[in-house]
Amino acid sequence: MAADFSQLTAEVERIKQVRPSIVAIIEGIADRVQAAVDADNAGDNSQLATLSADLRAEADEFARVAVAGTPTEGGSGETGGGTTEGGTRA
Protein backbone atom coordinates (compact mmCIF):
# COMPACT_ATOMS: atom_id res chain seq x y z
CA MET A 1 0.00 0.00 0.00
CA ALA A 2 1.47 3.36 -1.04
CA ALA A 3 1.43 6.23 1.42
CA ASP A 4 -0.45 9.41 0.47
CA PHE A 5 1.83 12.36 1.13
CA SER A 6 -0.41 14.95 -0.51
CA GLN A 7 -1.50 16.58 2.77
CA LEU A 8 2.08 16.72 4.06
CA THR A 9 3.28 18.11 0.74
CA ALA A 10 0.58 20.80 0.85
CA GLU A 11 1.61 21.79 4.39
CA VAL A 12 5.26 22.07 3.38
CA GLU A 13 4.32 24.26 0.42
CA ARG A 14 2.15 26.47 2.66
CA ILE A 15 5.08 26.93 5.06
CA LYS A 16 7.39 27.81 2.18
CA GLN A 17 4.93 30.46 1.02
CA VAL A 18 4.61 32.20 4.41
CA ARG A 19 8.29 31.95 5.40
CA PRO A 20 9.34 35.22 3.68
CA SER A 21 6.56 37.09 5.50
CA ILE A 22 7.62 35.66 8.85
CA VAL A 23 11.26 36.58 8.21
CA ALA A 24 10.22 40.14 7.27
CA ILE A 25 8.17 40.46 10.47
CA ILE A 26 11.05 39.23 12.63
CA GLU A 27 13.51 41.55 10.91
CA GLY A 28 11.08 44.44 11.40
CA ILE A 29 10.81 43.63 15.10
CA ALA A 30 14.61 43.61 15.40
CA ASP A 31 14.77 47.03 13.70
CA ARG A 32 12.09 48.40 16.06
CA VAL A 33 13.93 47.05 19.09
CA GLN A 34 17.15 48.71 17.95
CA ALA A 35 15.34 52.01 17.33
CA ALA A 36 13.81 51.88 20.81
CA VAL A 37 17.20 51.10 22.38
CA ASP A 38 18.76 53.99 20.46
CA ALA A 39 15.98 56.34 21.61
CA ASP A 40 16.35 55.13 25.20
CA ASN A 41 20.09 55.76 25.06
CA ALA A 42 19.28 59.31 23.88
CA GLY A 43 17.02 59.79 26.92
CA ASP A 44 13.62 59.07 25.31
CA ASN A 45 12.33 55.90 26.91
CA SER A 46 8.73 56.37 25.73
CA GLN A 47 9.49 54.28 22.65
CA LEU A 48 10.26 51.28 24.85
CA ALA A 49 6.72 51.25 26.27
CA THR A 50 5.24 51.55 22.79
CA LEU A 51 7.50 48.83 21.47
CA SER A 52 6.59 46.54 24.36
CA ALA A 53 2.88 46.97 23.61
CA ASP A 54 3.49 46.40 19.89
CA LEU A 55 5.47 43.23 20.55
CA ARG A 56 2.73 41.88 22.80
CA ALA A 57 0.16 42.55 20.08
CA GLU A 58 2.37 40.80 17.50
CA ALA A 59 2.84 37.81 19.82
CA ASP A 60 -0.91 37.59 20.41
CA GLU A 61 -1.55 37.64 16.66
CA PHE A 62 1.08 34.95 16.03
CA ALA A 63 -0.50 32.82 18.74
CA ARG A 64 -3.98 33.32 17.26
CA VAL A 65 -2.79 32.35 13.77
CA ALA A 66 -0.84 29.36 15.08
CA VAL A 67 -3.86 28.06 16.97
CA ALA A 68 -6.14 28.63 13.98
CA GLY A 69 -3.70 26.75 11.74
CA THR A 70 -3.09 23.86 14.12
CA PRO A 71 -4.99 20.77 13.08
CA THR A 72 -7.50 19.49 15.57
CA GLU A 73 -8.19 15.80 15.93
CA GLY A 74 -9.80 14.75 12.68
CA GLY A 75 -9.56 18.29 11.26
CA SER A 76 -7.35 19.99 8.74
CA GLY A 77 -6.61 23.05 10.87
CA GLU A 78 -8.00 25.42 8.27
CA THR A 79 -11.42 25.58 9.90
CA GLY A 80 -10.84 24.32 13.41
CA GLY A 81 -9.46 26.05 16.47
CA GLY A 82 -10.13 29.65 15.45
CA THR A 83 -11.71 32.51 17.33
CA THR A 84 -14.75 34.59 16.59
CA GLU A 85 -14.43 38.31 15.89
CA GLY A 86 -15.07 39.04 19.56
CA GLY A 87 -12.00 37.00 20.46
CA THR A 88 -13.87 34.09 22.03
CA ARG A 89 -13.21 30.51 21.09
CA ALA A 90 -15.50 29.18 18.36
DSSP letters, 2-69, are ----HHHHHHHHHHHHHHHHHHHHHHHHHHHHHHHHHHHHTT-THHHHHHHHHHHHHHHHHHHHHHHT
Asked if the structure places residue 9 within a domain, the reply is no
Asked if the structure places residue 80 within a domain, the reply is no
Distance in Å from the first CA to the final CA of the chain: 38
Give the tens place of pLDDT for each residue, 39-83.
888 888 788 888 888 888 888 888 887 777 766 555 444 444 444
Task: Please state the domain count of the chain.
Answer: 1
Asked if the structure places residue 33 within a domain, the reply is yes
Its pTM surpasses 0.75: no
Q: Which domain holds residue 22?
A: 18-59
Asked if the structure places residue 26 within a domain, the reply is yes
Asked if the structure places residue 89 within a domain, the reply is no
Percent of all residues in the chain with a pLDDT value above 90, rounded to a whole number: 0
Using pLDDT thresholds of 50, 70 and 90, give the confidence band for residue 29.
confident
